[in-house]
Amino acid sequence: MKLQENQLPPAAAELVQKFATRRATIGVVGLGYVGLPLAIVLAEAGYRVLGLDRDPQKVIRINEGDSYLMDVPGSAVRALVQSGKLSATTSYADLAAADGVSICVPTPLRKTGDPDLSFILDAARALQPALHSPMAVILESTTYPGTTRELLLPELEKSGLKVGQDLFLAFSPERLDPSRTDWTTRNTPKVIGGITPACTAVAAAMYGQAMESIVPVSSTEVAEMTKLLENTFRAVNIALVNEMALMCERLGLDVWEVIEAAATKPFGFMKFTPGPGLGGHCIPIDPLYLSWKLKSVKYNARFIELASEINTGMPRYVVQRVQDALNERGRALQGSRMLVLGVAFKPGVSDTRESPALDVIGLLKEKGAVVSYYDPHVPEVQDEGWDLRSVADPLQAAKASDCVVIVTDHGGVDYPGIARAAPLVFDARNALAGVEIADGRIIRL
C-alpha cells in the first residue's frame, strides 16, 4: 500500500519534507565496505552525514579527509569533510542530532552455523538513548527474514517511541559489489520494505534523494528475503559450474570451453564460472542464514545445503589436484615451494573475508608445503596459525617455486610471464586462457 503524503502520520510527513529539502542529518552506523560508500553517496546528495564506527582509527582517518577503502577515493572523503557534509564519531550520543540512521554492521555466521546478530542488537541498544520523534531507522545488514520485525523493532520501542507513528523502521538490503564501476551504491536499484506503509514511505524519501531508483516492497520480510534470494541464486549457480568442473575433469573435457560454448546461447542460459571456492561477506554466508531460518519451520533447504557442500569443498579439490600434478612429476607436496597468486576474495579488491585462498594456503601448509603468496592489494594476510607477507617480485618467486597456484586473478599481473617462469602452474581461474606452453606446465581447473 503506497501512501500519499497527506495520508502519512504527522511525524512521517515532517520527515519526508525534511529529506526532500536535504535539511536532514543522516547517521551511518558502521563505516566498512557498505557503510562508508553509503555515507559518501548520502553526503554528495546534500545531506549532512555523521558516520559512526567503534574503530577510532577509521574515525580519525575520515575526519582527516582520508579513505581506507579502495572503492572510496580519498579526494571524495576530503571534499565532503571540508564542506562540512561528512564527519565521523565513535559516540552514539552524537546521533541524537540525526533525522535518519542507517545500520550497516557485520552479520557473520558463528562456527556453529547459526547467525551472529550481536552487532545489530548492540547497535540498537546503543542507539536507544539517541532516539527521538520523528526519526527513521533503516537496517542494511544482511540477515534472515523476520530480523527487523522480531529483534530490532522490540529493541527500538523500549525507548517508549512507537514504530509507525514516532519512529519509522525499514529494511533495505545493501547490494554493493566491490570494485564495480558500472553499478554502484548510487545507481543500483534500492529495495526498501518498512514495518508499516508509513515506514516504507519515509525510508524511500530518505534514500530517494541520493539513489537513482527506489523499489518499495510490502514488508521488511520481503526486503530481507530479496537479498537472500539474490545471493542464493549466485551460490547455487556457482556450485553448479563448480560441480561441472569436477565432472569435466573426470571425463577429460575442458570445462572452460564447455562454458564458453554454452554462453553463445542468446536465451535461457546465464554464464557462471567455476573457481577454487566462494569468498566475500555475502555469497558464502547469506544463503546459510536462510537455511538456518527454515530449520525453525521444519524445512530443509536442500539446494542451499548442497551448494554450500560443493563450494566449500573446492579448496580441498584444488590442493588435491596440485598434489596429484606434483606426484606425476616425481615430487611430493610436502617440502615443495608453493606460490599462491591472489588472496583477496575477488579481483580488484583488498578484502580477504571468507576468501578461498586462505583455505588453500592453510591446506597446503597442513600438508607440509612451504607457502608464499603475491597479491598487489593485500600486503599481509593471516589466518589461524599462520601469518604471511606478500612477496615483492612474483616473477622471481615463481622461478624459485615448485608450483604456482592462481587463486584470484587480479588485473595488472603478468600471468603469461609467470607461467613461463614457473615449473608448474595450477590455474583455478582461467587467467591463462589462450596461453599455450608446449611442455604442459599449465594445468587448469
C-alpha cell at 59: 574515525
pTM: 0.91
Residue 201 and residue 254 in one domain: no
Residue with cell string 538513548: 129
Euclidean distance between CA atoms 32 and 68, whole angstroms: 9
Euclidean distance between CA atoms 62 and 55, whole angstroms: 11
Residue 319 and residue 426 in one domain: yes
Report the number of distinct structural domains present in the chain: 2
Would 45 be classed as within a structural domain?
Answer: yes
Would 287 be classed as within a structural domain?
Answer: yes
Would 134 be classed as within a structural domain?
Answer: yes
pLDDT at position 71: 87
- Non-local (6+) Cβ contacts of 348 within 8 A are 70, 178, 179, 377, 410, 411
CB neighbour burial string for 68-105, b if at least 16 within 10 angstroms, e if fewer: bbebbeeebbbbbbeeebbbbbeebebbeebbbbbbbb
Would 228 be classed as within a structural domain?
Answer: no
Would 106 be classed as within a structural domain?
Answer: yes
Domain boundary among 218, 250, 267: 218
Residue 439 and residue 309 in one domain: yes
- Non-local (6+) Cβ contacts of 18 within 8 A are 24, 99
Domain boundary among 218, 246, 280: 218
Domain of 90, CATH number, reads 3.40.50.720
Residue 12 and residue 159 in one domain: yes
Residue count of the chain, please give it.
445
Average pLDDT over residues 295-300: 90
Percent of the chain with pLDDT over 90: 88
What's the N-to-C CA distance of the chain in angstroms?
50
Residue 346 and residue 389 in one domain: yes
Spatial CA neighbour of 424 closest among 408, 413, 440: 440
Residue 95 and residue 64 in one domain: yes
Residue 171 and residue 250 in one domain: no
Residue 107 and residue 167 in one domain: yes
pLDDT at position 290: 87
Dihedral angle of Cα 169, 173, 174, 180, to the nearest 10 degrees: -150
Domain boundary among 192, 218, 244: 218
Average pLDDT over residues 86-115: 92
pLDDT at position 1: 54
pLDDT of 2 above 70:
no
Would 227 be classed as within a structural domain?
Answer: no
Residue 30 and residue 122 in one domain: yes
**Predicted confidence band at 5 (pLDDT cuts at 50, 70, 90)?**
low
Average pLDDT over residues 394-410: 97
- In this predicted model, what pLDDT tens digit does every residue of 267-292 receive, in sequence order? 999 999 999 998 877 777 888 888 88
| Mean pLDDT for the chain overall | 94
pLDDT of 349 above 80:
yes
Of the candidate ranges 25-29, 56-60, 109-113, 308-312, the one whose mean pLDDT is the lowest: 109-113
- In this predicted model, what pLDDT tens digit does every residue of 250-261 receive, in sequence order? 999 999 999 999
Residue 144 and residue 178 in one domain: yes
- In this predicted model, what pLDDT tens digit does every residue of 169-181 receive, in sequence order? 999 999 988 888 8
Residue 27 and residue 53 in one domain: yes
**Predicted confidence band at 4 (pLDDT cuts at 50, 70, 90)?**
low
Residue 184 and residue 286 in one domain: no
Using CA atoms, how far residue 166 sits from 3, 11, 163, 218, 382, in Å, is 17, 6, 6, 20, 46
Which residue range forms the structural domain that includes residue 149? Answer: 5-218
Would 225 be classed as within a structural domain?
Answer: no
Beta partners for residue 193, in sequence order: 171, 217
Known catalytic residues are 282
Would 229 be classed as within a structural domain?
Answer: no
pLDDT of 98 above 70:
yes
